[in-house]
Structure 1
């Protein structure tokens, strides 16, 4: 009789265990449908959970790189706009210098041209001291203040740092956020170092009487203005190349982010159709198991056994 009792107890215990497993399976499937995630905890699939954490870290780093990229692109866009405005002002300065160099212009006309060059010089100084997206010197490198100041003699002087700051674009790639003033405003004329701001300022003064030969000063100034425009064009090319590089790395970052998102979905997201079908199957098995257990438990043999 003890053997029969033990067998009966084992039957109920086994049946109860099987039903609990089925209920747990249906609850897991219901939770996956509700949350949209396969894993409720890392222990469900340690390997998959580890990969998901790795993908999450990579995406966080990518977001930092994206923020850096947006800041650099904003600063380079500002630099590009400022240099274009400088180029427009410089082209006008060349036109004025050409007029002043002509033998048909008199001293009064040259003086008027000199005053307009003074205005262009002021415009160039303002653009050279433009601000970046954080309110710092756009062309002053790491300087928070102005890129250019005026010394005691009234001459423009670069007061920024030697180089612009760089920011990471990810995967070991960096890019400078701008140019320093000397990188596109300083150049040499006949082997003599000079800068565009000084050229325009001195030419304006020469045409207003500071030079014994204003027409000759205008002719000399044309060579310097041409060299300055060439340097500025080179600066624009550098800025444009950096912006194109940022666009390229941004496209790559977007593609990698999409690949990570796809992998995260494959690893951690619930396949709604498949999970719903599995849940329906599990519910049917559970219902059938419960019905079978009820019938077996009510057989007269079990009622008679110990």
Structure 2
């Protein structure tokens, strides 16, 4: 009798444990279907949890790099727009210098040309001190202050740093956020340091009576304006190249983001069709186990011996 009783007890315990496991599996599958995730806690599947943490770290880094690339693209685009405006401005200044050099002008005519050149010089100063959408100077390098300053005599001086600093936008890839104003608006003219501001300011002064030969001053200014245009065109090319590089990296970032999202989904998201099939199988197995347990537990020892 003792062996029979022990066997019956073991059977009941095994049956109850089996049904409990089935119920736990059913609840887990239902949770997976409801949440769309394969695990709720790392302890449920440490290997999957480790993979998901790895993907999450890479996604977080990708978001930072993506934000950096977006801001860098905006800054480079703003710098490119300013350089285009500066090019147009310098081209107009060159037209005025040619006019002053080749067209007989009286004092009033020279004053009129000087007035327009003075306005162009003020706009040039404003463009050189342009800021990004976030208020950071575009041509001051790594300085947070104005790129150029003007003293009481009207002399313009570069106040930024000689380097712009690089922004990391991808693993192993960092691109400079712009160009220092010293590389955009300053240049050597016949071996002598000069700038677009100095050239325009000098021509204005000459046309206002500050030079004995305004025509010669205008001719000399043309060479300076050409040098300023060369510097601006070179800067525009550099900025454009960096913008194209940023766009290429952003496309690669988008591709990586898609790949990471697909991996995260593959590892951590619930396959609904598979989960529903497993749920149905588990429900069927639980129903069969409950029915079998009920029939066996209803039997008495006398019935089993008979």
> TM (normalized to structure 2)?
0.95
Q: Distance in 2 between matches of 1:215 and 1:86?
A: 25
Are 1:123 and 2:160 an aligned pair?
Answer: no
Deviation, structure 1 residue 132: 2.0
Q: Distance in 1 between matches of 2:152 and 2:4?
A: 113
Secondary structure of 1:17's counterpart equals helix
Is the contact between residue 186 and residue 195 of structure 1 (CA under 8 Å) also seen in structure 2? yes
CA deviations over 1:37-68 (Å, ceiling 9, x no partner): 11122222212211110110110111111111
Q: Distance in 2 between matches of 1:60 and 1:222?
A: 53
Other-structure match for 1:233: 233
Other-structure match for 2:208: 208
Other-structure match for 2:269: 269
Other-structure match for 1:167: 167
State which drifts further: 220-229 or 97-106.
97-106
Other-structure match for 1:98: 98
Q: Distance in 1 between matches of 2:127 and 2:92?
A: 15
Secondary structure of 2:188's counterpart equals strand
Deviation, structure 1 residue 218: 0.6
Deviation, structure 1 residue 10: 0.9
Q: Distance in 2 between matches of 1:255 and 1:135?
A: 31
Other-structure match for 1:139: 139
Q: Distance in 1 between matches of 2:304 and 2:287?
A: 27
Q: Distance in 2 between matches of 1:270 and 1:255?
A: 23
Other-structure match for 2:251: 251
Divergent runs of 4+, >4 A = 302-305
Deviation, structure 1 residue 289: 1.1
**Runs of at least 5 residues in structure 2 that lack an aligned partner in the other structure:** none
CA deviations over 1:75-111 (Å, ceiling 9, x no partner): 1121111111111111110110010001433343122
Other-structure match for 1:48: 48
CA deviations over 1:102-134 (Å, ceiling 9, x no partner): 143334312211111011101101111111233
Q: 1:121 to 1:302 in 2, by over 3 A?
A: farther
Q: Distance in 2 between matches of 1:98 and 1:136?
A: 36
Are 1:195 and 2:203 an aligned pair?
Answer: no
Q: Distance in 2 between matches of 1:103 and 1:88?
A: 22
State which drifts further: 67-76 or 250-259.
67-76
Is the contact between residue 103 and residue 215 of structure 1 (CA under 8 Å) also seen in structure 2? no
State which drifts further: 145-154 or 180-189.
145-154
State which drifts further: 61-70 or 102-111.
102-111
State which drifts further: 150-159 or 58-67.
150-159
Q: 1:242 to 1:302 in 2, by over 3 A?
A: farther
Are 1:286 and 2:283 an aligned pair?
Answer: no
Is the contact between residue 19 and residue 289 of structure 1 (CA under 8 Å) also seen in structure 2? yes
Secondary structure of 1:187's counterpart equals strand
Deviation, structure 1 residue 185: 0.8
Q: Distance in 2 between matches of 1:168 and 1:226?
A: 35
Secondary structure of 1:65's counterpart equals helix
Deviation, structure 1 residue 303: 6.3
Number of residue equivalences: 305
Is the contact between residue 94 and residue 225 of structure 1 (CA under 8 Å) also seen in structure 2? yes
Other-structure match for 1:71: 71
> TM (normalized to structure 1)?
0.95
